[in-house]
Amino acid sequence: MDREELKKEMIKWRRHFHKNPESAFEEVNTSNYIANLLQEMGYKVTTGIGKTGLIADLKLGTSEKIIGLRADMDCIELDEKLETEYKSVNKNRMHACGHDGHMATLLGTAKILSKEKNFDGTVRLVFQPAEEPGKGAKEMVKDGLFTKYHVDEIYGLHNMPGLEEGKIYTKVGSIMGSEDDFVIKIHGKGSHASAPNMSIDPLVIAANIILALQTIVARNVSPTDTAVVSCTELHTDGIRNAIPSNVIIKGDTRSFSKDVQILLEKRMEELVKNICLAYGADYEFEYTHEFSPTVNHKEQTEVAIKAAENILGKENVVANCQPTMISEDFGYFLTKIPGCFVFLGGAKKDKEVIALHNSMYNYNEDILIKGAEFFAEIIRIRLKK
């Protein structure tokens, strides 16, 4: 098929998504738009999986093998400041993480495969909702993805504006971290600021806890493992001339393994409990697992590397990239079935890098076709005729 025509079509799709963003589990119009396009291409579409998610199948030949390719659909809740003809028309909604580009990439792959028809088996395209809050993958699995709708293995990608344009980066094993959130509530005893002896000062206790939490990574986590503990919010019910009765500390932790996640949770609560006990305060401790670490499987990563080298050239593939502590909902899929996740670089030479989740972010449309051809090559390899 004509590569230039496909590039133009993918840009049109991407700009439509960018102009009409929908956030987590709101992606009704987005899902309908995708479903209509895929049906026109000859795919069998099933909607309502994971609330607003959908899958689309194209089966050729006799093989029973099913390969999944995934794109995320939701935007983030942010007002766009970048002025373009396709600027978001929805207040406090913006595709500032590139999911508009991911959807267009997978649609481009769908178009390539539907035109070439050069594989034996089933391609299952997975358009996932609610990646940003880490809820969509779980909802799709709960609705039967991988059981009712069997998938043998799955692949995904994420654009990275800070990495070199048009290069694929991946690795075997942990490539992105988990995200666990915590809330620590300290219940002390308030008093007038002039009479601290009448108080059980929760701010002093909170300060001790915040410092103590940093010792977990330094003194409890193995030096060969990686972890981050970040306290990001501090709230009190006090005023300038009054010591508060209550303080709330919020934050998150990041790691690459389940064992480290368990260790962080255990040590955090032990420190909170005993510091509060020492000062005579009460506490509440909440710890929730939001994102699984993204851990690539060896066989599927080797396939992704080969596909990337075939399409982009070996010089444009980094096969053992540095992992990152950002989190991705795709990690939950990889706890259920084998697969691989890759980064697709989008940084243009001599241009300022605008980070993801920035109100001025704009997807590098020159990498759309490269992502689509990479995905299509995975299918050619895994469903070889």
Q: Residue 227 is part of a domain; what is its CATH number?
A: 3.30.70.360
CA angle 132/28/155 to nearest 5° reads: 50
Residue at which a domain ends, from 266, 291, 316: 291
Q: Residue 375 is part of a domain; what is its CATH number?
A: 3.40.630.10
Give every CB contact of residue 283 below 8 A, 6+ residues apart in sequence. 184, 185, 186, 187, 272, 273, 276
Residues 94 and 233 in one domain: no
Q: Name the residue range of residue 280's domain.
A: 179-291
The pLDDT of residue 385: 87
Of 149, 18, 2, nearest in space to 73 by CA: 18
261-315 pLDDT, tens digit per residue, is 999 999 999 999 999 999 999 999 999 999 999 999 999 999 999 999 999 999 9
Residue at which a domain ends, from 276, 291, 306: 291
Report in angstroms the alpha-carbon separations of 84 from 19, 64, 73, 96, 351. 9, 45, 21, 14, 18
Active-site position among 131, 132, 179, 373: 131
Please give the Cα distance from 308 to 19 (Å, whole number).
30
Please give the Cα distance from 91 to 73 (Å, whole number).
17
pTM value surpassing 0.85:
yes
Mean of all residue pLDDT scores within the chain: 97
The pLDDT of residue 349: 87
Residues 349 and 364 in one domain: yes
Residues 100 and 148 in one domain: yes
Q: Around 199, how many Cα atoms within 13 Å sit in the side-chain half-sphere? A: 21
Give every CB contact of residue 333 below 8 A, 6+ residues apart in sequence. 70, 137, 141, 146, 154, 156, 339
Active-site position among 74, 80, 153, 328: 74
Would you call 74 a catalytic residue per the annotation?
yes
Instruction: Specify which residues 174 forms β-bridges with.
Output: 295
Does position 343 have pLDDT exceeding 80, yes or no?
yes
Would you call 201 a catalytic residue per the annotation?
no
Is residue 360 classed as helix, strand or coil in its secondary structure? Answer: coil
Write down the residue that tokens 């481009």 correspond to: 108
Q: Are strands 339-347 and 168-169 parallel, antiparallel or unpaired?
A: antiparallel
